[in-house]
Amino acid sequence: MKKQLLLALLIITATACTIHHHEVFVGGGSIAPKTIRVLSYNVRHCSPPATGLIDIDATAAAIKKQNPDVVALQEIDVNTGRSGKLINQATELGKKTGMIAYFGKAIDHDGGEYGVAILSKHGLRDPKVYKLPTDESTKGEHRVVLYAEIFLPNGKTYGFATTHLDAQGPETNRDLQIKEIIKISQKFKKPFILAGDLNAYPESNVIKQLDQHFTRSCQQCGFTIPATKPNRTIDYIAYLKGSALKVLSHEVIVEPKTSDHAPILTVFKY
């Protein structure tokens, strides 16, 4: 009798374990999908217009609040007179957010360097800085796109790039620059995410060209500038068409005290 009871208990236990195993690993219903939280932020060299003071702590806090996996930063100072001759803003923001940082120089400025940067919670490898074309007759500021491959703990990888296009009224340089970015993007395997300040409105020819090769994370995109009372959209996150990504959400973050731009956040399923 005792042997029969013990055998029955073993069968019940084994059956329960099998059902539990099936629900978690085979059915997959209780396993959350992998997401990538992408933040793009023109930080105005960590100097909000209201004060004109350099406040890296406030910028880092604004970034940390969104818990991003990867961040595209524009208007970053490295060892400049205005932001501190011994201050590398990319490095400092990396330290203060607990993320890997890489800076991409666009120009020499105020005794130091000025450009874009990437912050990543996960591994970052093979970073490259590509110079973008500028029509010298316009006397436009030279621009770059910074690319890196991001690799996740689960073994998946994706390409990520940030840029800051020309800010002049005419589209001359932005047109040249977006064409070059599209050309560069074809070199890298998918998925490929591009994020940054494109200085172009959604109805512009620049964004129309972008839309031919990339899918924006928003179609009716919220206003991103000025941060205090935004009334126009010039900041975007997009992914190369054919990439194995799905947009779960996109939002403009209300953060009026750290820059003249509002940061934007897109959550991808990957």
- Euclidean distance between CA atoms 266 and 37, whole angstroms: 6
16 and 38 part of one domain: no
185 and 212 part of one domain: yes
- Euclidean distance between CA atoms 236 and 224, whole angstroms: 9
pLDDT for 157 beyond 90 = yes
13 and 101 part of one domain: no
Q: Structural domain tally of the chain?
A: 2
Number of helices (H), then strands (E), in the chain? 5, 12
130 and 227 part of one domain: yes
- Euclidean distance between CA atoms 38 and 68, whole angstroms: 6
- pLDDT tens for 240-259 read 999 999 999 999 999 999 99
- pLDDT tens for 79-131 read 999 999 999 999 999 999 999 999 999 999 999 999 999 999 999 999 999 99
- Euclidean distance between CA atoms 221 and 243, whole angstroms: 21
* Count of CB atoms situated within 10 Å of the CB of 83: 23
pLDDT of residue 28: 31
8 and 82 part of one domain: no
Q: What are 214's strand-pairing partners? A: 240
Q: What are 130's strand-pairing partners? A: 145
pLDDT of residue 205: 98
Residue at token pair 């055998």: 7
239 and 194 part of one domain: yes
The domain that contains 247 carries what CATH number?
3.60.10.10
13 and 80 part of one domain: no
43 and 173 part of one domain: yes
pLDDT of residue 189: 86
100 and 1 part of one domain: no
193 and 259 part of one domain: yes
Half-sphere exposure of 116 (CA within 13 A, CB side): 33
62 and 148 part of one domain: yes
10 and 98 part of one domain: no
User: What domain range includes position 69?
Assistant: 32-269
Strand ranges inside the chain, DSSP E: 35-42, 70-78, 100-109, 112-120, 123-132, 143-151, 157-164, 192-197, 214-216, 235-240, 246-252, 264-269
pLDDT of residue 26: 28
- Euclidean distance between CA atoms 187 and 126, whole angstroms: 13
